[in-house]
Amino acid sequence: MSDDRSQAGGQDHQRISLSDDYEARDWSAKYGVSEERLRAAVGKVGNMVDDVERELRGR
């Protein structure tokens, strides 16, 4: 199910959703990585923002 853009805040800021193209593009831009690398990181550590950030930064 896609995000309801009228509902702001909460969990959306804690989790990375790759189900919508715009979200994958935005998260990739935020971290300066390709969508492929972002998807690989999410596949490895899950979709929690802190975990993905640590994986992408190599910590």
Residue-level pLDDT at 1: 46
Q: How far apart are CA 54 and CA 7, in angstroms?
A: 27
Q: Is 32 left (phi over 0), alpha (psi -120 to 50) or beta?
A: left
User: Which residue in the block uniquely carries the two structure tokens 């690989």?
Assistant: 40
User: For the whole model, what pTM was predicted?
Assistant: 0.76
* Residue ranges, the chain, pLDDT below 70: 1-12, 59
Residue-level pLDDT at 7: 54
Residue-level pLDDT at 49: 96
Residue-level pLDDT at 6: 58
Residue-level pLDDT at 2: 53
